[in-house]
Amino acid sequence: MWKKKKLISVGSRLTSVEGTSWQFDARVAQYFDKHVKQSIPHYESIQKYICSLSEWFIKKDSIIYDLGCSTGETAKNICNFNYDRKVNFKFIGIDTNKQMIKLAKKKISNCPCKSNIQFRCQNINTIKSFGESDLFISILLFPFLNLSQRKSLLKKIYKSLNTGGALIFIDKINSNNSKLQDMFNQIYFDFKLDNKLSKSQILNKAKSLRGSMNIFQEDEIKFFCKEVGFKKIDAFFRWFNFIGFVALK
């Protein structure tokens, strides 16, 4: 007789069903902001870096896409950062989770340029094309795509971008050295412990992510970008196995 699968804690009041893959359900959306700060190193700094970089690409009537926008934190920050520049732009956040979109709309309700921001509940993988744009942003969406999906999305992004436009994205990578990979993984576990996640929550999260993530090496990610047409790509952030790229068209 099969045992009934139980809920396991992965931190920040989030739970996963034992033996199943991590899913961004309604409960994940509710506690996502707290969980992401406990789980992503230098998350607030990453947001600031992306805002600073956006200034080079947001111009009059620019369109910006945020793929996997979650609760709209990047939309809020981009809006506030660029408000004093008095540049009229359109920001489109896309996420497949209805609860994330609902929270995102609420989060930007007091932003000074909220009329410039819209959110769409769509599956990234089923979007055939994007509108002409100057900037794409994506924070840790790519690790949750398989290789075919990653390459397909990169093609659509490149095709949509105006010349001089950019893709700014945060990815997670594997080291090209097994010993370093083990060291980096353990340092990441230490980071989570320092952020008040328990050992069992860290292990439960790792189990729930089995089969959900597709991680590549830094050189492979650069190759995937160059393969679709990006000629210039460089890292603007690096913390062990977390990395931020800017790819220019």
In whole angstroms, give the CA distance from residue 30 to residue 45: 22
When pLDDT is cut at 50, 70 and 90, the band that residue 203 belongs to is confident
Using one digit for the tens of pLDDT, what is the confidence trace for 94-140? 999 999 999 999 999 999 888 999 999 999 999 999 999 999 999 99
pLDDT, tens digit (0-9, with 9 covering 90-100), for 135-154: 999 999 999 999 999 999 99
Inform me whether the pLDDT recorded for 16 exceeds 70. Answer: no
How high does pLDDT run on average in the chain? 89
Select the more confidently predicted residue: 42 or 113. 42
Confidence category of residue 209, pLDDT binned at 50, 70, 90 = confident
pLDDT confidence of residue 202: 83
Residue 8 above 70 pLDDT?
Answer: no
Strands (E), the chain: 7-11, 14-17, 63-67, 90-95, 117-121, 133-139, 161-174, 216-217, 232-239, 242-248
Question: CA 108, CA 205: separation in Å to the nearest integer?
Answer: 29
- DSSP codes of every residue in 137-184: EEES-GGGS-HHHHHHHHHHHHHHEEEEEEEEEEEEEE-SSHHHHHHH
Specify the pLDDT at position 84. Answer: 84
Q: What is the mean predicted confidence (pLDDT) over 66-71?
A: 96
Architecture of domain 35-248: 3-Layer(aba) Sandwich (3.40)
9-13, 65-69, 209-213: the lowest-pLDDT one: 9-13
* 20 pLDDT above the threshold of 50: no
